[in-house]
Amino acid sequence: MTSASKKNKSTPITGLNQKRYEELVLLRDRLVAQLRVLAAEAFTDSDQTGKDLADAGTEDFLRNTELVLLGEEGKRLALVQEALRRLDEGTYGRCIDCGKRIQSARLDAIPYAKLCVDCKALREANDGIPPQDAQDAGAFDRFVE
């Protein structure tokens, strides 16, 4: 992942956002490290010979679990990257659907949250699909926190 397109007009990150930024960078580094391990495990060819069916079944199960985790962790990493970009752009902390401030208790729990609790609940009730007026803003994303 390269950050070739460094913008000149980035908002200075100060105060509470500085804290969030540091949190998010730490979280990103941790996720990247985890993903590296998971990917290495998931894509290593396993040697099935000489194992009975029960063992093979367990191994398949573990492998599938790793792939699911890879999906979850990868998804979270994408959300973290996005949050860092929003910090940079100065739009961090605002709900992408309604534009209101996201409760800071929520950001304490999930620093990469991009929806306020109300909008998150709305999306969950609507299978992850944002309200019609938010779709134009390119906010469509089934995987949100």
**96 makes contact with Zn ion (CB under 5 A):** no
Closest CA to 80 of 11, 39, 29: 29
Query: By the 8 A CB rule, do 88 and 10 touch?
Result: yes
* 130 binding Zn ion? (CB under 5 A): no
73 binds Zn ion (CB under 5 A): no
The residue range among 2-10, 44-52, 77-85, 109-117 that interacts with Zn ion, by the rule CB under 5 A, is: 109-117
Query: With binding defined as CB under 5 A, does residue 42 bind Zn ion?
Result: no
Candidate segments 18-26, 65-73, 117-125, 137-145, binder of Zn ion by CB under 5 A: 117-125
Which residue, chain included where needed, has tokens 């998931």? 42
CA distances from 116 to 16, 37, 49, 70, 135 (A): 18, 33, 52, 26, 16
CA 132 to chain centroid, in Å, comes to 23
Residue 95 sits in the site that holds Zn ion (CB under 5 A): yes
In the complex, the residues that contact Zn ion under the rule CB under 5 A are: 95, 97-98, 116, 119
